[in-house]
Structure 1
Amino acid sequence: MGTATMRAVRLHAFGGPEELIYEEVARPEPGPGEVLVRVQAAGVNPPDWYARRGFENVPAELRPNWTPPFILGSDISGVVTALGPGVTEWKLGDEAFGLVDFPGRASGYAEYVVSPATHLARKPAVLGHTDAAAVPMAGLTAYQYLFTHLSDRIGDTVMVNGAAGGVGHFAVQLARVAGAKKVIAVASGRHEEFLQDLGADRFVDYTRTPVEEVVREVDLLIDTVGGPHAHRLLPTVRPGGRIAPVFLGDYRPERAAELGITVETMWQVRSSGSDLAELATLIDAGRVRAAIDSVFPLRDAAAAHTRAEEGHLQGKIVLNAEG
């Protein structure tokens, strides 16, 4: 009997989206503590295109040493089709979603993926697989920042910079769940109605008005943008307030300290089936929802990456892997 195969998208060389090749590869088998999932949909995340480019945007000392060919992708939603030894919490046919092996390297851009059983949670009943695949990395980043890393240090007023993107739109919603009395969303003008519908109390269009000129006394700034000009937002945060960076940025730590502002260590999201189950409960209760920017067939992962590079996303990009 020959080796079982599947279709997957592999990166054969670092570079542009054209390096993502849809092809036939060997199907993985679950080991102890693992399950095999028939992937119905896979989320596309920034670490995917960082990896595709060879992590050129990551400082050399932090850069993973990955060698092509390999399969990208860590966000998946699908159906459990096989159990490894010792797995008792899952059964065949269960619908599951998860952030698989992160930080680390999973292989979600495929028809099948092996995952540690503890990295998965039951798919929210109110979501189909496409919507569920949009949740894990972005949703867990916001959830773990607010409920694990910061916990009771959120304050009354939370501002989310880059509020319309993957992490940003979850942060807007979860800040309210975490107890914020006022949520300020910063994005370009076309996202205003979208973010107000998610519960933002105030919207600032950064393309028309410099945020640092019109916002003051923020208790917590969740900055999903970062970059060399991140320090321009220091005037928006009150003395005693905090900045929670999702991406690397220059916050001028000496100046921040002078202003009495704490710049938190950048939080690294981690796979957690238990955290994802809590997030699923909030989704099923209607308190959090996932927004989809666009959906592409798995075979068109290159086109999905091209869309990601255009920027100004409203929610998440998802690959449909249903055959």
Structure 2
Amino acid sequence: MRQVVITEFGDPSVLELVEAPAPQPGAGEVLVTVHSAGVNPIDYKTRSGQGFVASVIGDRLPWVPGFEVAGTIEALGDGVNGWQVGDPVVGMIGFPRAGGGYADKALVRADELCRVPDGLALEEVGGVPLAALTAWQGLFTHLALQPDQKVLILGGAGGVGHFAVQFAAQHGAHVMTTGSGANEDFLHQLGADDVINYEAEDVHDVCYGLDAVLDLVGGEAGKAALSTLGDHGKLVTAPTVTADAIRKAADERGLQAAGYVVEPDTEQLEEILALLGRGDVNLHVSAAYPLADAAAAHRRQEEGHVRGKLILQP
């Protein structure tokens, strides 16, 4: 089998495509032939040594990145019930220590997987789990978003953001989001009511009294968005590197803000897959790369302004 490994923390050149023996599934595990694996900002941040995942895998290099895959089951370990060889599956896998998605075969815990609904392409749906769950949990677990509330989503055109805009719109919220002028039409098509062109406008000049802010950008943008909150509003921020600074800024102003880290959840993922299967929500794939071009995918992700998701197709 082929897999991409991080040999040391650094720039994309530390990603190396290697041959490795195909693993045998142990108790409660399955071996998945990977058709698609999502590329996410957490992958390049980990590769460069940033963030909480890097802090827990530093003594385990070389390490295979990738926390979301779709494919077919190739082999079953002992004690696995409810799955058969050949079943189409998708899941958020190996989070946060094991990883393993950047490969043509992945060893996965059976309880991390969901069945892929008919009509969804295995060659793309691997780009869904981590990104969509990050959006879902930010909106509904941490912000407890209600219909008719006003929510601002920072970075609505990205991998997590384009799911968040759709989820919030489907939920009946009034959706405001930031994006470039080039993405304005795209964001309206996703369901955004108002698009703030960050190249020409500041959010605090056009938004105020909001119930909720989902910050997918972090840093100074996250801090600036605090000024849009109403008296009882709340901001949650996904980028872990700047979460503490944003919480501190909120505390100083008597506002509510919290950081969060996505967690695997197959029940939530099944709800998301049902929306995708009905066509109520769509995955937008900006580009697909073979495993050998994982470094190119990382460079593209790090440049920013990716519309939707980048994926690997082993």
Correspondence for 1:224: 216
Task: Say which of 7, 19, 37 aligns to 2:14.
Answer: 19
SS in 2 for 1:26: coil
Correspondence for 2:61: 68
Correspondence for 1:3: none
More helix by share: 2
Task: Say which of 148, 152, 156 aligns to 1:163.
Answer: 156
Q: Distance in 2 between matches of 1:36 and 1:63?
A: 24
Task: Say which of 110, 122, 128 aligns to 1:117.
Answer: 110
Q: Which runs of 5+ in 2 are unaligned?
A: none
Matching of residue 195 in structure 1 with residue 187 in structure 2: yes
Q: Distance in 2 between matches of 1:317 and 1:152?
A: 28
Contact 1:102 1:269 in 2 (8 A): no
Q: Distance in 2 between matches of 1:271 and 1:59?
A: 15
Q: Distance in 1 between matches of 2:63 and 2:44?
A: 13
Correspondence for 1:52: 47
Q: Distance in 1 between matches of 2:71 and 2:17?
A: 19
Contact 2:250 2:257 in 1 (8 A): no
Q: Distance in 2 between matches of 1:101 and 1:125?
A: 25
Task: Say which of 260, 263, 285 aligns to 2:257.
Answer: 263
Question: Relative to 1, partners in 2 of residues 1:117 and 1:58: Cα closer, same or farther, differing over 3 Å?
Answer: closer
Q: Which amino acid aligns with 2:25?
A: P
Q: Distance in 2 between matches of 1:215 and 1:144?
A: 23
| TM-score, normalisation: structure 2 | 0.93
Q: Distance in 2 between matches of 1:59 and 1:32?
A: 25
> How many aligned residue pairs are there?
311
Matching of residue 28 in structure 1 with residue 23 in structure 2: yes
Matching of residue 127 in structure 1 with residue 125 in structure 2: no
Could you tell me how far 1:123 is from its partner in structure 2?
1.4
| TM-score, normalisation: structure 1 | 0.90
Could you tell me how far 1:185 is from its partner in structure 2?
1.3
| Matches for 1:177-216 after TM superposition, within 5 Å | 177-180=170-173, 182-216=174-208
Q: Which runs of 5+ in 1 are unaligned?
A: 1-5
Could you tell me how far 1:105 is from its partner in structure 2?
2.2
Correspondence for 1:245: 237
Q: Which amino acid aligns with 1:192?
A: E
Contact 2:2 2:17 in 1 (8 A): yes
Could you tell me how far 1:154 is from its partner in structure 2?
7.2
Contact 2:4 2:17 in 1 (8 A): yes
Could you tell me how far 1:280 is from its partner in structure 2?
0.4
Task: Say which of 288, 293, 308 aligns to 2:301.
Answer: 308
Q: Deviations over 1:32-84 (max 9, x none)?
A: 111110001111112211221122x5599x65434321211111010001111
Runs of 4+ in 1 over 6 A off after TM superposition: none
- RMSD over aligned Cα atoms: 2.0
Q: Distance in 2 between matches of 1:168 and 1:301?
A: 22
Q: Which amino acid aligns with 2:118?
A: A
SS in 2 for 1:222: strand
Identity %, equivalent residues: 38
Contact 1:234 1:256 in 2 (8 A): no
Q: Which amino acid aligns with 2:4?
A: V
